[in-house]
Structures are given as structure tokens and as C-alpha cells.
Structure 1
Amino acid sequence: MNPRKTRLAEFISAFTLFEIGSTTLFQIGAEAKQDAWLAMTLAACVGFLLLMLHLAIFKRDPKRDLFELCRHYFGKVLGNLAVIIFGAYFAYEASRNLRDVGELAAYMLLNRTPLFIIMLLCILVIANIIRYGPHAAFLLMLVLLPFIVFSYFLLISMIFGVGLPKLENMEPILEDGLGPVLKVVPDIISFPFAQTVLFLVFFPMVREEKGIEKSMLIGYTSVAIFLILVNHMNVLVLGTKLADTVSFPLLQVVQLIELAEIFERMDILFVLVLFIGLGAKLLFFYMGAVKGFSNLTRTSFKKWILPIGIAIYALSFASPNFTHHLWVGISVVLKYYPIIQIGLPALLFIVMLVRNKQRTREEEQMDNS
């Protein structure tokens, strides 16, 4: 893999686009109805703690990425198993994002093009970017971020400008108590906030280690606030029932924008923004999987681009239709993700602390002798 170090600005841009990713495509915490914003806020706070955990792991051993850390601290057998689990998780998440891209394109733009063609073209484009290495991917994110920020700012301004949000849709607050809110918090933690575990793969690539912690925490907080705002805006405009029913709620909201008979097809801009967000998430999950299996087999990074790409493409057809795809993502896999996203990193950190204490004691005994 390309060993070039990336600048902090490029890295934060990639992190920001990754976190936004496909999150705005769906209604997060829909079961909490008008209190979804509260559920997202609680989940974001837990995600903040998880990010601090990831940064603590990085600070204790900044030269090793996630896979090298697993092999070094868990030992050969358990370490390789952890590498396989993380690599498979990243590949599966990439396949889900690929399916989202294909379904969105087929729904909005290319309804006469077969889904397998759309997704094949998408995976080929992403694979070609990965072929140039992480540095090229980070540079691309730096270029795309200003466009994404401006586009979302424009869309949100127009939604509020034409008076679509209705504050009465957020009442009554906590109508059924905290039960429905707490019920959906674990799922929201898993998607999207706990997905930051992926960046343990990329932390060692950053050139400026000193400013990474502050920048990451500021970036995460900004994105979390943005996602909570956008998610709640769906409720304010559509109401709880419609926001939960439609496949792409924010797209439905954007299609309601009509301003002076000039700005009427803002949904095209939103779809373009979504493609970039989905592409960013697919890109980094794909790259993480390639890096994992390259590390596992001690072979070249580029040799795994094609096999992993084929696996991602095949996995994207695991569901016969988009409804089943969403059901699997919400009702099945999210229940097991905390083991990978929270359990394994926490165990890794504990093992690191124990190993470091043992090393310190051994050094003290040697000094005393």
C-alpha cells in the first residue's frame, strides 16, 4: 500500500464525509417517533465516548493500525481471528452501501438500467480509486467536502426558507416516556456513530499526530449535531408516520421545495450529495477490508482489491429486494454489531493496559536487580 502520510485536514475531511455517508438517506430512530432527536443525542454521546476509546488506543500505540494491534496484543491465533472478523465486517458494510447506491440510482435516475449494471460500474470506480492508495482517497475527500457542506447548507436553508417545518410535529415530547427512546439507542449507536472503529485502520497514516485528537472530537461533534438536525427535520416536515413510512424521507422533503418557480428540482442536487456520501462510506469500508486481508496474508495491498471487490459485489445481492435489504440492516445485523464495534475495541484496550503494566513491572524489576 502507498506509504505516504496524509495531512490532518485531508483525514478530517474523510472522517466527516464518512460519518455523514448514508445516514441522511434514512430516518434514524423512527420507533421513537417525535423523540428521535433525543435518542440520536444519547447515541451520539455514547459514540463520542467510543471515539475517545479509539483515540486512546491510537495514542498508546500510534505506529500500528487496527489489524497490527490485534495481531500484536491478542497473539497470533486470536489476533488473526479478530482481523478476519473486522475485515469481514468492513466488507459487509461496503456491500450494504453498494446496494444503497444502486437502489437510489435506480429509483431516481436510471430506472431502465439493470441494478447489477449500476452496481458493477460503481464498484469498478471505487476499486480504481483504491488502486491509487489511501492518500489519493483522502485528497479526494478534501476536494469534495466543501461541495457537500455548501449543498446541505443550501438545501436546509431552502427547506426552512419556504416554511416546510412545523414545530407542532415534535409534540408531545416523551409522550410514552423514555422507554421507546432507550429502546432504539443501541441501534443508533451501531449506525452510524460506532462505525468510527474503521478509522483505527487509518490513524497511523496521519502526518500530524499532536492535533488529531482535538480535530477528530470537534469534527465528530459537528457531524453529530448536523445529523440530529437533519433527522429531526424529516419529522418536522413529514410528521412521524410519513417519515417512518417512506423509503427516503429527506428526499421526500427536498421534493417539496418550490421557490419562485425557479428552484423546483432540488432533489437532483440532494441525490448527487447522497451519491458522494454513499461513495465515501463504500470507499473507506472497502479499503479497510482490503487492508485487513492484506495484513492477514502478509501480501500486497493491491492484490486484494479485486477479490474483495468481487466479494462486496456478490454480498450486495444477498437480499432479493430493497425492503428485505433494509429489514436485514435494521432488524438483524445491528443486533450483533456492538460485539465488533464496541466489544473488540474495548477488549483490545484492556489487553493493551495489562500488557503495558506487565512491561513496566518487568522493567522496574530489571532496574532494581
Structure 2
Amino acid sequence: MIRISNYQLFSLMVLFEIGSSILFVSGIDAKQDAWIVVLLSMFVGFALMWVYTELQKKFPQENLAAIIIKILGKYLGIPLVLLYALFFLYCSTRIFRDFGEVIVTTFLVKTPLLVVLIVFMLTALYVLFLGLEVLGRTSEILLPIVLFSIISVIIMVGISGRIQLEGLSPVLANGWQPVFKEVYPKFVNSPFGEAAVFMMYWCYLDTKQPVRKISFWAISTAGLIITIIDVISICVLGVTIAGATTIPFLGVIKLINIGDIITNLDAFGIVLMFIGGFYKMILFFYGGVQAFATVFKGVDSRWIMVLSAIFVLWLSIVFEPNYPYHIWLGHKVSLPYIHNVFQTIIPPFLLLIYWFKGKDSIC
């Protein structure tokens, strides 16, 4: 039986939520009020998390795929589970492409993107073949390192004299409308709504009672970290540059210079971002694999992993021919429509159907 501890779940969720959020200034279209966007999105994320954990509470031994089949029945449930499996793999593909592009454009500039993605995927498959417990154990080791590194970056940027707090003013210069426009559907769905994938993992927790408590603490921790990164990026780079820069956080790290001794920490920043991206990508990927495995119970999950890995590789290269198209697809199609349906619309409806049908009628 697969089992993960409370701290491993917390570690996985925090690393997942930080994930690709560290690449961009979340809510930058709200200008200097981007940090308010993150905080408001986090509170809406609490409401979504309550729905997710309430569903899990009704079926503590089941993952999301099994929950859907139990609530809707096989004829409606299985097609929806297959759509969720494809959705999770699609999300994995987007993270996969994001971090492949980061590595190619900043670190391995002469290496073909396909080579980087293949190595990335082989590493993910190796970890997953070892088991979810191994992934959980690595996360509990790496989380303190990631948190310490982020805190160290903030301190070093401060010592370098780069932080200009006046970059955050005036607060709400254009009112609440630009803030609310960024909160939903963009940043409610990413990163906080993306925690829906953990409904595929909560059933593996040693003790089911603290699922909601752990999840709320993880959302709070990640939300505060993302807020601080937003504030630092805006205060160091300014709103205009932070919005125009491909990877603002890396731009902040490049400006660290303490007595001409501690400088050129680009590689440090790339490794830090890679860790978050790796966990987010692998958790979405394995969530999709587990959903397929729930439907096709007689098939070896390792074969499902291999076939899913080939599909993700194809999708990331062929379906998205260039990075500008990748960004456009994410902001204009994925977040407002695809993510919105699977993360903020379907789970509440599943809970309502459960309440309407009653516990006794659920098979």
C-alpha cells in the first residue's frame, strides 16, 4: 500500500503551489497591486480547498477518479474521469514546456529543447517507478532547502540595497476592478485551484483526519511566499520591467552583489526554480496516470506512465510550436476556460450532487 506522511503531504503541496509561480510576477496586470491579487486569490483558494477536502471527507479511501465514478455512476463518471486524466496530463505538459524553455534560454542555450525535455521526462519516470513514497521523502528533504534559499535571496537582495518600497505605491491607484479582474479566473485557478490534483493523493495519507488542516497550512505558506516574491520583484525591478521580463525572479537574483564577492547567482536561481517546476509537473503527470489506472484497472500502471510520457512529450513540442503561442494559450484559453471548468465548476457540482442524492444512494 502507498502511504505518505502528513509532513510529506505538506511538503509536496507547498512545492507544487510555488511551482511555476516563481517564474512570473503573479497578477502583474494589476501593476503595483499584484501582491493584493495573490492574497485575494489565496482566500478564494481556501473556499475551493474546502470543497475539495469535503469531497475527500465523504470518500476518505478513494481518489478523485473513484469519487467521480461513485457519485455519477460508470456511464457518466468514466468519461469524466478520462477527461480529468487528459486535463492533468495537459497541465503537466504546460509546466513541462515552461521549465524546458527556462533551462534552454538561461542555462543550456546550445542544447535542443527536445533533448532537455527528454532528460526531464526520464528523470520523472525514474522517480515515479521508485514510487510515490520516494517522491514524498525527497520533498520533505528539499522543502526546507527551498524555503531557506528563498529567504536567503530576499536577505541578499536587501543587503545589496536593491529594494525600493516606493515601487508598491500608490496602492489601489486604479481601484479594485483591475485587481478583481486578475483574481478570477486567472490566479484563483493558477496556482491555488490547481491543488485539485491532490484529490488524487489524499487517499494515500497515513491518517485522513488532518487533510483539510494540512492543505490550508500549505496554501497559506505558498501564498505568502508567492506574495513576498511578487513584492520583492516589483520593488527591485519596478512594475514595467517586472511585467516585461521573461523571468523576473531570475532578474532579481542577477542583481545580487554583496561587496563584489557574492554575485552571479544565476545557476542558484535556476536550480531553485527547477525544483518547484519538477514537483508540479510530476504531480500533475502522476495524477493523470492514476486517473487512467483507476479506469483501466487491468493494465500495468508502468505502461500507462510510459505512454503518457510519450503523449506529454509530443504535446509539448508539436501541439505548441513556439513559446509565445504557449503563453497565449495559457492566459487566453487554459485559465479562463479549461482550468476553470475542471477546478472551480465541476468539484462544487460533484459535492452538490452528493448532497442531493444522499449517502445511501451512492454506490
Question: Shorter-chain-normalised TM-score: which range?
Answer: over 0.9
Alignment identity in percent?
A: 27
In 1: Cα distance, 2:242 partner to 2:137 partner: 35
Give 1:344's aligned amino acid: I
In 2: Cα distance, 1:175 partner to 1:214 partner: 36
Moved beyond 4 Å, runs of 4+: 357-360
In 1: Cα distance, 2:11 partner to 2:360 partner: 38
Match of 1:229 in 2: 228
Match of 1:137 in 2: 135
In 2: Cα distance, 1:24 partner to 1:306 partner: 29
Give 1:199's aligned amino acid: F
Match of 1:92 in 2: 90
> Where does 1:184-199 land on structure 2 (aligned, <5 Å)?
184-186=182-184, 187-199=186-198
In 2: Cα distance, 1:150 partner to 1:345 partner: 35
Match of 1:350 in 2: 352
Give 1:227's aligned amino acid: I
8 Å Cα contact 1:155/1:266 also seen in 2: no
Displacement of 1:18 in angstroms is: 0.7
Number of equivalent positions: 358
Q: Is the counterpart of residue 170 in structure 1 residue 172 in structure 2?
A: no
Give 2:347's aligned amino acid: P
Give 1:331's aligned amino acid: K
Q: Is the counterpart of residue 340 in structure 1 residue 342 in structure 2?
A: yes
Match of 2:106 in 1: 108
Name the stretch that deviates more: 323-332 or 84-93.
323-332
Displacement of 1:359 in angstroms is: 4.8
In 2: Cα distance, 1:40 partner to 1:262 partner: 34
In 2: Cα distance, 1:133 partner to 1:300 partner: 14
Give 1:68's aligned amino acid: A
Q: Deviations over 1:262-313 (max 9, x none)?
A: 1111221111011111000111011001101111222232220101001111
Match of 1:330 in 2: 331
Match of 1:158 in 2: 156
Match of 1:16 in 2: 14
Match of 2:61 in 1: 63
Give 1:200's aligned amino acid: M
Match of 2:322 in 1: 321
Give 1:314's aligned amino acid: W
In 1: Cα distance, 2:63 partner to 2:274 partner: 28
Name the stretch that deviates more: 285-294 or 157-166.
157-166
Q: Deviations over 1:114-149 (max 9, x none)?
A: 110010110011011111221111111112112111
Report SS of the residue matched to 1:191: helix
Give 1:206's aligned amino acid: L
In 1: Cα distance, 2:80 partner to 2:137 partner: 30
Give 2:295's aligned amino acid: L
8 Å Cα contact 1:165/1:236 also seen in 2: yes
* Unmatched tracts of structure 1, length 5 or more: 361-369
Q: Deviations over 1:163-216 (max 9, x none)?
A: 212111111111111111111111011111100100000001000222332222
* Unmatched tracts of structure 2, length 5 or more: none
Give 1:115's aligned amino acid: L
Match of 1:79 in 2: 77
8 Å Cα contact 1:85/1:340 also seen in 2: no
Report SS of the residue matched to 2:263: coil
Q: Deviations over 1:29-61 (max 9, x none)?
A: 111001111111111100011111111111111
Give 1:110's aligned amino acid: L
In 1: Cα distance, 2:128 partner to 2:22 partner: 25
8 Å Cα contact 1:73/1:348 also seen in 2: yes
Displacement of 1:11 in angstroms is: 1.3
**What is the TM-score normalised by the length of structure 1?**
0.94
8 Å Cα contact 2:9/2:214 also seen in 1: no
Give 1:322's aligned amino acid: Y
Q: Deviations over 1:84-113 (max 9, x none)?
A: 121111101111111112111111211111
Give 1:338's aligned amino acid: N
Q: Highest Rg: 1 or 2? A: 1
Match of 2:309 in 1: 309
In 1: Cα distance, 2:292 partner to 2:214 partner: 29
**What is the TM-score normalised by the length of structure 2?**
0.96
In 2: Cα distance, 1:292 partner to 1:300 partner: 13
Give 1:310's aligned amino acid: I
Report SS of the residue matched to 2:111: coil
Displacement of 1:358 in angstroms is: 5.5
In 1: Cα distance, 2:101 partner to 2:359 partner: 51
